[in-house]
Amino acid sequence: MTPTPITPPAGGSITQQTAGGMHPYITNGACSGTAIRHEQSLTIAYQLVSRTDQSNDWIPLSSNSASGLRLTIRGTSQDNLFDFQTSAAVGSTCDTAANARQTHEFILSSTDGTAGTLGRFGVIYTASGGVTQRWATTSDFASFDTRQYLNGWISTDNMPAGWEDSQPLSEDFVKELVARICNGGIEYSNDGSAAGMTLSDSWFGMDYSLMNL
């Protein structure tokens, strides 16, 4: 059953505020109601693979030439309903009192590359952020979604030689990779076989607009 929130004086669009710096909670505030808070996190481990495949394994191992990133992707998104109260906002300013937004801080940690480049091995992860908050409506509900894509694959065959050592090209590739994770299109095989290969669908709980890439 969809929870029915306490109706605040009004709703509003998300404003640019730092998550964690919202109005303080008080008891019986002049502006109170039910708010919804969305949080998400994402971690991508990668290995640059450039080999040939004659054994029909999913990740190219040994005659057809193929280059790409082998991926392990884990992420979580959740929405929580909670009571929000503040006396710092009254009247029309209560419309957006519950609103907050903070984009992700992404960390690119390469094992063998220079700063800001992918290199051949490493991890891409969200260190902080990935938060939105606003007044809840009757259509909002609490949710939790966690996903894991093993033996993921994204081709790099169209990239120029040495692209993994270029900061601009590495950053552009990470943007494409994260977009595919959010919107669908990552090839993966959780059992590691070609027969088990599937294509990821859209991850509606992972908000790409929060990705500060």
* Residues 112-141: tens digit of each pLDDT: 878 889 999 999 999 887 899 988 877 888
Distance CA 97, CA 194 (A): 51
Return mean pLDDT, the chain: 79
* Residue 170 DSSP SS3: helix
* pTM attached to this predicted model: 0.79
pLDDT band, very low/low/confident/very high, at 34 (cuts 50, 70, 90): confident
Distance CA 55, CA 118 (A): 28
pLDDT band, very low/low/confident/very high, at 6 (cuts 50, 70, 90): very low
Q: Are 180 and 42 in contact (CB under 8 A)?
A: no
Distance CA 109, CA 125 (A): 8
Of the two residues 80 and 93, the one the predictor is more confident about is 80
- What is the pLDDT at residue 75? 95
- What is the pLDDT at residue 52? 59
Provide, rounded to the nearest whole percent, the portion of the chain with pLDDT above 90: 37
Average pLDDT over residues 77-101: 79
Distance CA 122, CA 110 (A): 4
DSSP 8-state code for residue 5: P
**β-pair type (105-110, 121-128):** antiparallel
Least confident of 172-176, 185-189, 193-197: 193-197
Q: Which residues pair with 135 in a beta bridge?
A: 35
